[in-house]
Amino acid sequence: MLNIDLTGRRALVTGSSSGLGSAIALAMADAGASVAIHYLKDQRAADDVVARIRQRGGTAQAFQADVSVVSEVQRLFDEVTLAFGGLDILVNNAGMDGAAANCADSDPAQWARVLAVDLQAPYNCARLALKPMLAQQRGVIINITSVHEFIPWSGYSAYTSAKAGLSMFTKTLAQEVAGSGVRVLAIAPGAIKTPINASVWQDPKGLADLDEKIAMGRLGEPDEIGRVAAFLASDLASYITGTSIAVDGGMLIYPDFRHGG
Ligand code: BGC
């Protein structure tokens, strides 16, 4: 039997009080990792994820921080290190789409906020995670990008720019540390059923439109990302670094070209 085994590994998953982050945290805990559940505002939701992990016999603790702020990330890492004694896995998952606005009508402060959360924050966290990882010659950093690191998306130029940037950050970082036992990867999810896009998939018209953009014809479930993250963090993926793994039900294979052209 081939098992994903993260026994003894300590993981920090940003934005893990809901959505993809909580599914990733649960999957990693199921594989044996101790998981730091990070949240920005919703302590109750974070505590709920911690409770679910503990019910399943796992180890987890909740931590609050605004990961776009350097000093808060320092405090977060100090707290996680104190609680868990180190760090082996970082998942930069916290993110936001931002409000839809074409460039000409957009607000610079909102554009900057999306960049701060979706690109600067992963940098803030990776920078500090690398210190213990390089010292112990072992570690995995997983950045959650999106199919929109590849696919343009009208109204969301901050998001697409941040995700494409995060993809290149992933590759550059992977190159910097490849000889040091640290792997750096990205997962590029497609449309997954989470709160981030609930306004679309809860609306029948929005759901039908989204399904048409997916070759498999359905949205993904959060645990379909969680399982991939657990695998990529494990030694089973020991030869994978510096690349984006798309988990998108075939969004990137241009399903519209099944006909016509
Ligand atoms: C976005 C979702 C969107 C999906 C597919 C994701 O990166 O966060 O809001 O539904 O891409 O377009």
The binding-site residues of ligand 1, defined as CB within 6 angstroms of any ligand atom, are 97, 146-148, 190-191, 196-197, 200
For residue 91, give both structure tokens: 């998942």
Q: Ligand 1 test: best mutation among 18, 96, 148, 156, most atoms within 8 Å of CB?
A: 148
Q: Which residue has its alpha carbon closest to ligand 1 atom 4?
A: 191
Q: Which CATH superfamily is domain 10-257 in?
A: NAD(P)-binding Rossmann-like Domain (3.40.50.720)
Distance CA 132, CA 50 (A): 24
Residue 246 alpha carbon to ligand 1 centre in Å? 13
Residue 125: how many CB atoms within 10 A of its CB? 25
Nearest CA to ligand 1 atom 5: 191
In whole angstroms, give the CA distance from residue 59 to residue 79: 16
Task: Report the pLDDT value the prediction gives residue 153, as an integer from 0 to 100.
Answer: 98
pLDDT digits (tens, 9 = 90+) for 113-159: 999 999 999 999 999 999 999 999 999 999 999 999 999 999 999 99
pLDDT of residue 122: 99
pLDDT tens digits along 18-56: 999 999 999 999 999 999 999 999 999 999 999 999 999
Q: 223-254 pLDDT, tens per residue? A: 999 999 999 999 999 999 999 999 999 999 99
Task: Looking at the CA of residue 197, tell me the nearest atom of ligand 1.
Answer: 9
Chain segment 51-78, per-residue pLDDT in tens:
999 999 999 999 999 999 999 999 999 9
For the CA of 146, the nearest atom of ligand 1:
7
**Closest Cα to atom 12 of ligand 1:** 191
Atom of ligand 1 nearest to the CA of 97: 8
Q: Give the Å distance between the CA of 197 and the centre of ligand 1.
A: 6
- Domain boundaries of the chain, sorted by first residue: 10-257
182-193 tens-digit pLDDT: 999 999 999 999
CA dist 229 and 226 (Å) reads 5
Cβ contact 15:93 at 8 Å:
yes
High-pLDDT (> 90) share of the chain, %? 100
Q: Which residues pair with 142 in a beta bridge?
A: 91, 185
Q: Is the entire prediction scored with pTM above 0.95?
A: yes
Mean pLDDT value of segment 162-173: 99
